[in-house]
Amino acid sequence: MSLLNSAVERSKLGLHTIEQYEPLIGSAAAERIAMKADRVRAMRVAHVSSTFYGGGVTELLTPLTLMMNAMGIETDWHLIQGTPGFFGCTKKLHNTLQGENLDLSEAERAIYEEVVFENATRLHLEECDAIIVHDPQPLPLVSQFPDREMPWLWQCHVDLSSPFAPVWSYLSGFIEKYNAAIFSLPEYAQHLGIDQHFVPPAIDPFSPKNGELSEKEIRQFLANYKIPTDRPLVVQVSRFDRWKDPLGVIDAFRRAREQVDCTLVLVGNNASDDPEGHVILESLEDSIDGDIVILAVNDPILVNALQRQAAVVLQKSIREGFGLTVTEAMWKGAAVVGGNVGGIRHQIKDGWNGFLVKTPDEAAARIVQVLKDPQLREQLGSRAKESVREKFLMSRLLEEWLDLLIRYGRPKI
């Protein structure tokens, strides 16, 4: 028997079917999703992004594309290639979309558009029934397919609450060529002449990063990285990005450490399309002391173990499109203290299933409160896990994309 003919083996390979979600979402929801999948099963769908490695888009597309294929929907995932200069430009675009006042020069715009044009010549998408483009890096691709018959959808995953107007005006010229734009939250809506939809991200509860671990496995993975467990752990998992405020995290930790004994662990990786990551990481080196551990690794099981072992999980972002690391920690029953921004405040109900903060002082106070009250920590974690089960599992994200494909996809004749 082929591996892919066995449901158990499919699960081991990461090909999770909707039937596996049934114990979490109920039989009625599972049946409804399966019926919608039947309506688009003959379509061929292509996602286009800028990296297979690091960052929230990868965390979404890896399970989503696998799950769609497991359900019989032919789903491709294409990667655009770029020079360091190109990714320098797109990182600037990312920052300006999140509110930084930086414009692109004419030379930078030329680099941006030229590299996307080069990628368009290598992408053969004519047989697809829907194209889904993610974030600003591949955005201009749509301009290179003027005679397209299939719908093009653009999904933006960053915080668009206050984009820098000149850059947004420039990018809007490309966005308006799409059939629809998809944003994570309603407050990211923009003045556009095309349809807008709002689809929050979700997590794969069966992935190595989110699946169950035994106490023995947790201890083993933490020991592998020489992470001490003799004191409570305060943990932040995120890319090394200024918007994640790692220096603010260290400041908050040091203030909390004056009242409670604990260890801080900062874990992140540098996505291949983020040229600023190594600079941020280097800037943190002067902050390391005996109570602070900083790791630049890509190990999903380590992240899983840390989030399960942590007494407090931080995500003290100052801008955040959604914040999947918050979702992941909440799914593991962690007590999460998050920045009161973007998608974090759509996940955390302050004081009910976690805490929202704005400043290092506020973060420090909540760290101390949680560390001194184990019962509170357990209550927050229990409510957090249930809220993820209800709203933020991959089955819900799959269903929303099926709805979009039913609405926009080019049906087979």
CATH number of the domain that residue 123 is part of: 3.40.50.2000
pLDDT at 269: 73
Do 27 and 83 fall within a single domain?
yes
Do 226 and 364 fall within a single domain?
yes
Do 324 and 404 fall within a single domain?
no
Is the separation of the CB atoms in 296 and 246 below 8 Å? no
pLDDT at 24: 97
pLDDT at 149: 86
Partners of 74 in the β-ladder:
44
Q: What is the pLDDT along the chain (413 residues), one digit of tens a residue?
A: 333 344 444 445 557 789 999 999 999 999 999 999 999 998 999 999 988 776 778 889 999 999 999 989 999 999 999 999 999 999 999 999 988 998 899 999 999 999 999 999 999 998 899 999 999 999 999 999 988 889 999 999 999 999 999 999 999 999 999 999 999 999 999 999 999 999 999 999 999 999 999 999 999 999 999 999 999 999 999 988 888 999 999 999 999 999 999 999 999 876 555 556 677 787 777 777 889 999 999 899 999 999 999 999 999 999 898 999 999 999 999 999 999 999 999 999 999 999 999 999 999 999 999 999 999 999 999 999 999 999 999 999 999 999 999 999 876 54
Alpha-carbon torsion (7, 11, 15, 17), positive or negative: positive
Q: 98: domain range?
A: 3-202+393-408
pLDDT at 412: 57
Q: Is the pTM of this model over 0.85?
A: yes
Do 221 and 79 fall within a single domain?
no
pLDDT at 282: 76
Q: Are strands 233-237 and 263-268 parallel, antiparallel or unpaired?
A: parallel
pLDDT digits (tens, 9 = 90+) for 312-346: 999 999 989 899 999 999 999 999 999 999 999 99
Do 121 and 175 fall within a single domain?
yes
In the chain, the number of structural domains is 2
Partners of 295 in the β-ladder:
267
What does each C-alpha distance from 294 to 182, 226, 231, 264, 360 come to in angstroms?
35, 11, 16, 8, 19
What does each C-alpha distance from 403 to 5, 8, 187, 271, 302 come to in angstroms?
27, 28, 21, 30, 35
Exposed, middle or buried, 238 (CB in 10 Å: 0-12/13-18/19+)?
buried
Smallest CA-to-CA distance from 89 within 106, 109, 118 is with 109
Per-residue DSSP letter, 209:
T
Do 272 and 161 fall within a single domain?
no
Do 347 and 359 fall within a single domain?
yes
Q: Are strands 233-237 and 312-315 parallel, antiparallel or unpaired?
A: parallel
Do 226 and 334 fall within a single domain?
yes
Do 149 and 254 fall within a single domain?
no
String of DSSP letters for 249-310: HHHHHHHHHTTS--EEEEEE---TT-TTHHHHHHHHGGG--TTEEEEE---HHHHHHHHHH-
Do 41 and 96 fall within a single domain?
yes
In a domain, 280, yes or no: yes
Do 380 and 402 fall within a single domain?
no
